[in-house]
């Protein structure tokens, strides 16, 4: 099924009958909030490419430079708000007993919209990790008072708790994502390019195991011909419509036990 716009009745019916829903999001969702790609277009950083700064080698060579870039990114993100797509996903989570949000985004906007315990495949820019002990810390301070920041326990350098170029995804995060994709009845794939692996394989894992897979994007992707439906348009327009239809009949579903959602001040997910 292909659709250039809103959800069809048949599509809504298939999603309505799903007991296990997985949502996979990519950078297209964040871009609708105005999150830039941070790939050198700003005058302050236009002499650098993200691929030159978001690596362990760059951090070893000049941790202060790398942290100044991340501090700049965090300051840009500080005033950006979740958009209707983020909010609709949080609404869907409250309507389904078995739900998992998997995101490739590091900006924490899903958490600020009310999503609970998303699997963050690429980490979170509002956390840092000790380079010696691997302890993970919340890092809500913005801007940072000290660059580069150091571990309060051992004094070692902290690094952003994100996946850099050349690094594998966190094992626990990917295993949880794969298991959910293999077990779900339906998956929404929102704002992804479907080219960054291994995340791009998750919709195909879901489809192979019998799930109904729907893509929401501003254009077709490499997986469009392999899944059940592609809705062309902005996630912030399409997702609230889908959520509205599903929540009408799904509002009385039992809620799963979840940790309390984070405070807005932490800018976490």
- Three-state secondary-structure class, residue 123: strand
Buried b (16+ CB within 10 A) or exposed e, 38-63: bebeeeebeebebeebbbeebbeeeb
Contacts 24+ apart (CB under 8 A), 138-141: 138/266, 138/268, 140/265, 140/266, 140/267, 140/268
Q: Are 142 and 160 in contact (CB under 8 A)?
A: no
**DSSP summary character for residue 210:** T
Based on the residue annotation, tell me whether 208 is a catalytic residue of this protein. no
Strand order from edge to edge, sheet including 136-138: 136-138, 123-130, 158-162
Q: Are 101 and 23 in contact (CB under 8 A)?
A: yes
| Rounded distance between C-alpha atoms, residue 66 and residue 242, angstroms | 40
14 alpha carbon, distance to own chain's centre: 24
**DSSP summary character for residue 200:** G
Contacts of 80 (CB under 8 A, 6+ apart): 33, 34, 35, 107, 109
**DSSP summary character for residue 150:** B
Task: From the candidates 86, 110, 122, 208, give the one annotated as an active-site residue.
Answer: 122
Joined tokens for residue 231: 């809705």
The residues carrying an active-site annotation are 122
């Amino acid at each position: 099924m292909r659709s250039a716009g809103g959800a069809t009745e048949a599509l809504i019916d298939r999603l309505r009958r799903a007991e296990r829903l997985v949502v996979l999001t990519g950078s297209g969702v964040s871009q609708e909030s105005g999150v830039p790609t941070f790939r050198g277009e700003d005058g302050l950083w236009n002499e650098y490419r993200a691929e030159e700064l978001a690596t362990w080698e760059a951090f070893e060579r000049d941790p202060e430079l790398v942290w100044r870039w991340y501090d700049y990114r965090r300051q840009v993100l500080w005033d950006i708000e979740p958009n209707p797509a983020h909010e609709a996903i949080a609404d869907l989570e409250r309507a389904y007993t078995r739900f998992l949000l998997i995101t490739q985004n590091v900006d924490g906007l899903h958490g600020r919209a009310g999503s609970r315990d998303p699997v963050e495949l690429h980490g979170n820019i509002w956390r840092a990790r000790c380079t010696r002990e691997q302890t993970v810390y919340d890092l809500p301070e913005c801007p940072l008072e000290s660059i580069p920041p150091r571990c309060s326990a051992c004094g070692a350098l902290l690094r952003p708790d994100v996946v850099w170029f050349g690094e594998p995804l966190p094992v626990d995060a990917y295993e949880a994502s794969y298991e959910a994709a293999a077990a779900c009845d339906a998956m929404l794939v929102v704002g992804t390019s479907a080219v960054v692996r291994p995340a791009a394989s998750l919709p195909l894992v879901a489809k192979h195991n019998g799930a109904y897979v729907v893509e929401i994007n501003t254009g077709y992707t490499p997986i469009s011909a392999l899944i059940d439906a592609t809705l062309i348009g902005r996630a912030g327009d399409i997702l609230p419509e889908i959520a509205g239809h599903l929540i009408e009949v799904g509002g009385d579903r039992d809620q799963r036990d979840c940790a309390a959602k984070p405070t807005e001040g932490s800018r976490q997910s």
